[in-house]
Chains A and B, each alone.
Chain A
Amino acid sequence: MTAIYAYFLTLPFAAVIEPHLPVLQVVVPLLCAPICVLLRHAKLSWLWATIVTWLVFFIALVLLGKVLAGGLIIYEIGNWPPPWGIEYRIDAANALVLVIITAIGAITLPYAKASVEKEVSEPRIYLFYLMYMLCLTGLIGITTTADAFNLFVFLEISSLSSYVLISLGGSRRALTASYRYLVMGTLGATFYIIGVGMMYMMTGSLNMADLATLLPAVDHTRTVLAAFAFVVVGLGLKLAMFPLHTWLPNAYAFAPSAVTVFLASTATKVAIYALLRLVLTVFGGTDLFNVTHISLMLVILAVIGMFAGAFVAIFQKDVKRMLAYSSVSQVGYMVLGIGLATAAGVTGSIVHLFNHAVMKGAAFMAVGAMFYVVGSVRLDDLAGIGKRMPVTTAVFLVAGLSLIGTPVTVGFISKWQLVQAAIELGWWYVAAGVLLSSLLAIAYVWRVVEVAYLQAPPEGAALRTEAPVSMLVPMIVLAAAAVWFGIDGDTTLRLAGEAANALMGAAQGGKP
């Protein structure tokens, strides 16, 4: 990372651009997106989106290198000093999340080309890439900004574009899935601004760092208590926390495959980051964490979510929907880390954020490739898929093992960290819950494995027909990453540890 930063400094104009990287991260995709409309051409707009997204990924890597080398980056938009102006503030936590979302955004695009041509009608493809870039802009914005209201604006940019992306799915079910997500998403975002408004009433500030210093003085008021509740529930809707997850399964199941890959690996992750930032940094100095027993509530909901999601996943007939329910269960693990509210727990939450993005990306890419070749991802239609598409099924198997949490895959690293964090607090039943819910994951992954390897392919089905190379390479890269970071867990754990420190230390000495 630091090597990338050092390399960037040798580039021409680096000195001019370097101080503005935090805002360029958002401005580049935002201003480049409308050019897709001017291009009005499927392949050209794909090429344009790919170039821009990889550029943004490069910026994110440079920023992470800079943060690791020099600590906090503060950028004042328009030179207005905070708390009056909007401030972008990049520390280890959001630099890491930025790298995750831009990496997934960049690697999905080569995959998307063939997949989107198959699933979205030709005249709409340039609009697809327009929305894709806007969605990426919104997600990056949520991650970079240090202004509570600015976060809402980016939240809506990413949400509105993802409603459109989901509705582009082939079946009519995509329309109702998108509509229901729109209703739930808007309620969530509106809850969030109610909370922000109440915080503003009490403090007169919207800057997160400023709020963190002003809120403790008024944290006994009912207004701040209500603000806390509204923010947690609002963001809980966006991140599909257990009882608020109902929009997620259909939205993921009926969206175009490339959209599912992108949203499953980024959208909920960014909402989790926002919750971490608000709960640990903005409200970190207040007593609300203890007063509201939010810790206990989050842990209980997380554990129920872990089981319920995995349990429902077992009975799905459609593999895409099965993985969507598995996402509900995996979000449970991330929420669990927040609920534990220790440095180890938050580290586990962040490392799972990274690991889940990698493994779910690989899994949904494999399923998308099956859809590309077979035309359906119902279990009945996938008999013998292990012989028909050996590489794709192998990728699915690696991702599936990781979802279970087998050693040598990334899933093991994060579950191990979460179990350790739970035991550290003496919460044995939570640690047992993590392990038992992994058993349920074995059941749903096994159902696919059984159909894929133990059933004979139907008569006349072509053997060894893989999806195009452009789809295979990204999914192999993600599967390799799932194994690589599973063996070398230290790198991600150390980054996540620094991120947890940045989140919890920003308010006070590191204890919530």
Chain B
Amino acid sequence: MQGIVDAFKPLHDLWLAFEAFMVGPGSPGLFGYWMVIALMMTGFYVVIAHDNLVKKIVGLNVFQVSVFLFYILMAKITGGTAPILAEGIKVYSNPLPHVLILTAIVVGVATTALGLALVVRIRNAYDTIEDDEIQAVEEEEDR
């Protein structure tokens, strides 16, 4: 058992170093932003690299969600509570970015719904939802 744990020790150390690098000395804030960037790039990559139209929409969603997280993180204050006026509450999060992101979430839902609706129509018209196959058909039409 101990042997297995030891085997993973270098990996564990690497993770700790990675975490220390991202979190930075004494500040808990940056880790979230690194995660935002990771999510953002994942989503962006999926949009660019995948040919499946539904997967593209999913990638777009991940991309947008990373921006929601970005706004939520920037408003978070360490030790702060919800911004409700009450006795004894001195530190609270900035409510404005949270409210902005409520709007952006609604926009994101509308975009996803419209995008998926278009995919349904494309499926009916082309019998496929693979972008490369659709492009082949279209190039044939253009000729």
Q: Given the complex of chains A and B, what is the CA–CA distance between A178 and B122 in angstroms?
A: 10
Q: Given the complex of chains A and B, what is the CA–CA distance between A193 and B71 in angstroms?
A: 10
A172 & B111 in contact (Cβ 8 Å cutoff): no
Q: Given the complex of chains A and B, what is the CA–CA distance between A3 and B111 in angstroms?
A: 43
B67 & A175 in contact (Cβ 8 Å cutoff): no
Contact of A197 among B74, B103, B110, B126 (CB under 8 A): B74
Report which B residues bind A (CB closer than 8 A): 44, 47, 53, 56, 60, 63-64, 67, 70-71, 74, 97, 100, 103-104, 107, 110-111, 114-115, 118-119, 121-122, 125-126, 134, 138, 141
B114 & A197 in contact (Cβ 8 Å cutoff): no
B67 & A197 in contact (Cβ 8 Å cutoff): yes
Answer yes or no: A38 CB below 8 A from chain B CBs.
Answer: no
Binding-face segment, A103-111, A182-190, A491-499: A182-190
Which chain A residues border B67 with CB–CB below 8 Å? 190, 193-194, 197
B119 & A179 in contact (Cβ 8 Å cutoff): yes
A182 & B134 in contact (Cβ 8 Å cutoff): no
Which chain B residues border A164 with CB–CB below 8 Å? 114
Q: What is the chain B residue whose CB lies nearest that of A321?
A: B142
Contact of A179 among B97, B100, B104, B115 (CB under 8 A): B115
B60 & A175 in contact (Cβ 8 Å cutoff): no
Q: Given the complex of chains A and B, what is the CA–CA distance between A194 and B64 in angstroms?
A: 10
A183 & B47 in contact (Cβ 8 Å cutoff): yes
Which chain A residues border B71 with CB–CB below 8 Å? 197
Question: Contacts A167-B121, A172-B125; is A179 near B53 (CB within 8 Å)?
Answer: yes
Contact of A178 among B47, B118, B134 (CB under 8 A): B118
Q: Given the complex of chains A and B, what is the CA–CA distance between A164 and B114 in angstroms?
A: 8
Question: Contacts A179-B53, A186-B64, A190-B67; is A163 near B114 (CB within 8 Å)?
Answer: yes
A175 & B111 in contact (Cβ 8 Å cutoff): no
Answer yes or no: A447 CB below 8 A from chain B CBs.
Answer: no
A175 & B107 in contact (Cβ 8 Å cutoff): no
Q: Given the complex of chains A and B, what is the CA–CA distance between A278 and B142 in angstroms?
A: 39
Residue of B100, B103, B110, B118 with highest tally of chain A CB at under 10 A: B118
Question: Contacts A160-B114, A187-B47, A194-B67; is A179 near B122 (CB within 8 Å)?
Answer: yes
Contact of B121 among A152, A175, A187 (CB under 8 A): A175
Answer yes or no: A176 CB below 8 A from chain B CBs.
Answer: yes
Which chain B residues border A176 with CB–CB below 8 Å? 122, 126, 134, 138
Q: Given the complex of chains A and B, what is the CA–CA distance between A173 and B100 in angstroms?
A: 35
- In the A-B complex, list the 9 residue pairs whose CB atoms are closest, starting with the nearest: A172-B125, A156-B107, A179-B118, A175-B122, A175-B121, A201-B74, A186-B111, A182-B115, A197-B71
B118 & A175 in contact (Cβ 8 Å cutoff): yes
Which chain B residues border A173 with CB–CB below 8 Å? 138, 141
Contact of B63 among A153, A156, A190 (CB under 8 A): A190
CB distance from B101 to the nearest CB of A (A): 9
Which chain A residues border B141 with CB–CB below 8 Å? 173
Answer yes or no: A149 CB below 8 A from chain B CBs.
Answer: yes
Q: Given the complex of chains A and B, what is the CA–CA distance between A152 and B101 in angstroms?
A: 12
Answer yes or no: A200 CB below 8 A from chain B CBs.
Answer: yes
CB distance from A260 to the nearest CB of B (A): 18
Q: Given the complex of chains A and B, what is the CA–CA distance between A197 and B44 in angstroms?
A: 18
Q: Given the complex of chains A and B, what is the CA–CA distance between A193 and B100 in angstroms?
A: 10
Q: Given the complex of chains A and B, what is the CA–CA distance between A241 and B121 in angstroms?
A: 29
Which chain B residues border A178 with CB–CB below 8 Å? 118
Chain A residues 224 to 283 lying within 8 A of chain B, measured CB to CB, are none
Which chain B residues border A163 with CB–CB below 8 Å? 114, 118
Contact of A172 among B60, B97, B100, B126 (CB under 8 A): B126
Contact of B110 among A160, A179, A200 (CB under 8 A): A160
Residue of A153, A183, A186 with highest tally of chain B CB at under 10 A: A186
